[in-house]
Amino acid sequence: MLTGIHFLLTYMCNLECDHCFVYSGPNAKGTFTLSQIRKVLDEATKIGTIKWIYFEGGEPFLFYPLMLEGIKIARSMGFNVGVVTNAYYAISEEDAELWLSPLCKLEISGLSISDDSFHYEEEKNNPAKRTLDAAKKLGLSVNSICIERPAVGTDIDKEQDKGVPVIGGGAMFRGRAVEKLIEGLPQRRWEEFTECPYEDLKEPERVHLDAYSNVHLCQGLSMSNMWENPLSILVRNYNADSHPICGPLAKGGPARLAKEYDVEHEDKYVDACHFCYLLRLALIDRFPQYLAPRQVYGLE
């Protein structure tokens, strides 16, 4: 049951992090208009099961008035609202309070702040920490998102009684992460990747929306075009089995997708995301409606 809608309010970001799976950066395009936000929220009420609306990006605070108005409309409709930010604006804790105070008045339910080496290297007194302190002072419900760089550890396979390489850190190997973070990591045979370990493609609980019309089931994997067909109808009629990409993935993961379309590929990959992302990149010209936008694949 779909309960959450996440606005990728913009793909633009003041940073260009190595782990970003939507290729956000200062030159990225694709920002919602206020009219588009209203249209989506109207559709969200028709769906009937949506409880949460998130504003993220890119960096949503780059379009601060637009974000605030979107939050205001969503709250007036009775939705819980969350915001995800890298807190670039927190020159001081006082400045952070200035930016966050309107969110308190709008009674948002959650603020998530990116605070890791991808965003601020090893800087201890960084904008994220200032914003975290300011949010707590204001009484906001707040948490930090900390994605570490991939590292190889060892787990013990009890059945085989030997060490098995484990990749820690939490980075998803999609988008720019495939370009920047794969080198040196252990890889496994492609036949092992027979399921999607992160997204429920048959019964999604959340979708990410962008201004280009895409309803992302996973970043770069779109349900369909919500400007051509209303979001509420798309959600009601969605069937993973009839989706050309989700169908094979739901039935047998990336390995099934590769076989379904006879995609030429390598023998080994870091994980299912890595394999799936490269398969989708190979299929993007064949299924442009469902594998979009191209910039999420680093093509624009």
Q: Which domains are present in the chain? A: 4-148+202-239+288-297 (3.20.20.70)
Residue 280 CA from chain centroid, whole number:
16
Q: In this model, does residue 77 exceed pLDDT 70?
A: yes
Q: State mean pLDDT over 79-87.
A: 97
No. of helices (H) and no. of strands (E), the chain = 9, 12
* 115-to-20, 58, 112, 138 alpha-carbon distances in Å: 14, 15, 9, 19
Q: What angle do CA 218, 204, 76 make, to 5 degrees?
A: 100
Give residue 144's pLDDT.
86
Which is nearest to 21 in space by CA: 213, 211, 220? 220
| Token pair in block for residue 179 | 């370009």
Pairing between strand 142-145 and 188-189?
Answer: unpaired
User: Taking the model in full, what pTM does it have?
Assistant: 0.92
Give residue 161's pLDDT.
47
CB 77 within 8 A of CB 3: no
Q: State mean pLDDT over 107-116.
A: 93
Q: In this model, does residue 93 exceed pLDDT 60?
A: yes
Reported as a single tens digit per residue, the pLDDT across 119-134 is: 777 667 899 999 999 9
Q: In this model, does residue 169 exceed pLDDT 70?
A: no
Q: In this model, does residue 166 exceed pLDDT 80?
A: no
Give residue 149's pLDDT.
76
Q: Around Cβ 25, how many Cβ atoms within 10 Å?
A: 17
Helical (H) or strand (E) element with 6 = strand 4-8
Give residue 160's pLDDT.
46
Q: State mean pLDDT over 250-279.
A: 97
Q: In this model, does residue 147 exceed pLDDT 90?
A: no
Residue 235 CA from chain centroid, whole number:
19
Give residue 156's pLDDT.
46
